[in-house]
Structures are given as C-alpha cells and as structure tokens.
Amino acid sequence: MLNAKMLKALNGQINAEMYSSYLYLGMEAYFQSISLNGFASWMRGQVQEELFHAMKFYDFVFERGGQVTLQTIKKPESSWKSPLDAFKNVLKHEQLVTSLINDLVNLAIAEKDHATLNFLQWFVAEQVEEEASVGEIVDKLKLIKNDTSGLFFLDADMSKRVFTLPQKGE
Ligand code: FEO
C-alpha cells in the first residue's frame, strides 16, 4: 500500500509524463510545419514513449492499491527558433524529468518504500539513456549549424527511429 505522500508524488509524475508527451507532440507539429518529416517522426516516437512512461506510473499506482488522480496538463510551448533550439529544449526538459525522478527516489528512501524504490530504478536507467540520446542529437545539430545538406542528411537518419512498446518487465 502506498502512503499518502508517495501516492501524491506518483500522481504528480503521471502528470509530468503526460506533459512531456504533449510537449513533444507540439515539437512534432513544429517539425512537420517546416517539412523536416524525419525529425517529426522521431518526435512521434517520443510522444508514444512518454505516454508509455505515464501509463507505467498509472499501472503501478493501481497495482499498489492507490487511486489515480488526473490533473490539468499545462499548455506546452509550440514554436522554436530552429531545430537546435527545439532539441536544446528537449535536453533541458529531460534534465528536469531526471531531477523529478531523483526526487521520487529520495522520497521512497525517506518513506522506506522499497517497492516504489525498486520500481523507480527502471526510470533512473531510462533517464540516463534519454539524456545521452538527446545530447547526441544536440551535438550533431551544433556541428551542422547552417549546412542545409547536413540537416537533410540528419533528417533522413532521424526517420529510422521506431518506437516499439516494451514488453512487461523490460
Ligand atoms: Fe519520461 Fe523522457 O522522460
């Protein structure tokens, strides 16, 4: 059984993951509007991945006998100065999510909630991966600068991302 503090924090994280999905949906629309369809397709994968994260928290709350309470999802930004500007924002956002996950870990430790602590380890590892993959894209975009052919090449590469729903336990 989750205690009230942990339950509130986990419900807050469902909202944060839903916001992440919504933010990336806005970015998908931005990339689509400037005809960078590979970047847009990469963002679609990100939208689905964040929704999966939200549902992972949702399922865990119920599994532990808690009640899911949905909150308002705030309006995300919808325009960026350039692909680099958008991806710098993705990195900044993922760093924020990492700090939210770390706060949850700290709370689980303080509350001696070992089951939640164990559940959160998946997200700790996931955030390392997310920050690394987004950081790599930011670096590539910095190298490309204003080189249009470089941008088209990266766009083609970005289109290769396919999101597959992880199996239970992955
Ligand atoms: Fe759910 Fe990208 O962190």
Domain of 87, CATH number, reads 1.20.1260.10
Measure the CA–CA gap between 50 and 93, rounded to whole angstroms: 12
Name the phi and psi angles at 80, rounded to 5.
-135, 155
Tens digit of each residue's pLDDT (9 = 90 or more) over 128-153: 999 999 999 999 999 999 899 999 99
> Do the Cβ atoms of 9 and 105 come closer than 8 Å?
no
What is the Å distance from ligand 1's center to 149 Cα?
30
Average pLDDT score, the chain? 96
166 within some domain: no
**Confidence at 1, pLDDT banded by 50, 70, 90:** confident
Q: In terms of pTM, does the model score above 0.85?
A: yes
* Domain enclosing residue 101, as ranges: 4-71+79-158
170 within some domain: no
Residue 170 pLDDT exceeds 70: no
What is the Å distance from ligand 1's center to 13 Cα?
10
**Confidence at 119, pLDDT banded by 50, 70, 90:** very high
Q: What is the mean pLDDT of residues 96-104?
A: 98
Q: Quick one: CA dihedral 144, 148, 149, 155, positive or negative?
A: positive
Measure the CA–CA gap between 164 and 169, rounded to whole angstroms: 14
165 within some domain: no
Measure the CA–CA gap between 97 and 17, rounded to whole angstroms: 8
Atom of ligand 1 minimally distant from the CA of 53: 1
**Confidence at 36, pLDDT banded by 50, 70, 90:** very high
Residue 168 pLDDT exceeds 70: no
167 within some domain: no
Question: Closest Cα to atom 1, ligand 1: which residue?
Answer: 50
Q: What is the mean pLDDT of residues 76-82?
A: 93
Give the pLDDT of residue 162: 81
Distance, C-alpha 83 to centroid of its chain: 18
Total structural domains within the chain: 1
What is the Å distance from ligand 1's center to 147 Cα?
30
**Confidence at 78, pLDDT banded by 50, 70, 90:** confident
22 within some domain: yes
12 within some domain: yes
Percent of the chain surpassing pLDDT 70? 98
52 within some domain: yes
**Confidence at 169, pLDDT banded by 50, 70, 90:** low
Residue 166 pLDDT exceeds 90: no
Residue 32 pLDDT exceeds 80: yes
Q: What is the DSSP string of the chain?
A: ---HHHHHHHHHHHHHHHHHHHHHHHHHHHHHHTT-HHHHHHHHHHHHHHHHHHHHHHHHHHHTT------PPPPPP---SSHHHHHHHHHHHHHHHHHHHHHHHHHHHHTT-HHHHHHHHHHHHHHHHHHHHHHHHHHHHHHHTT-HHHHHHHHHHHTT----PPPTT-
19 within some domain: yes
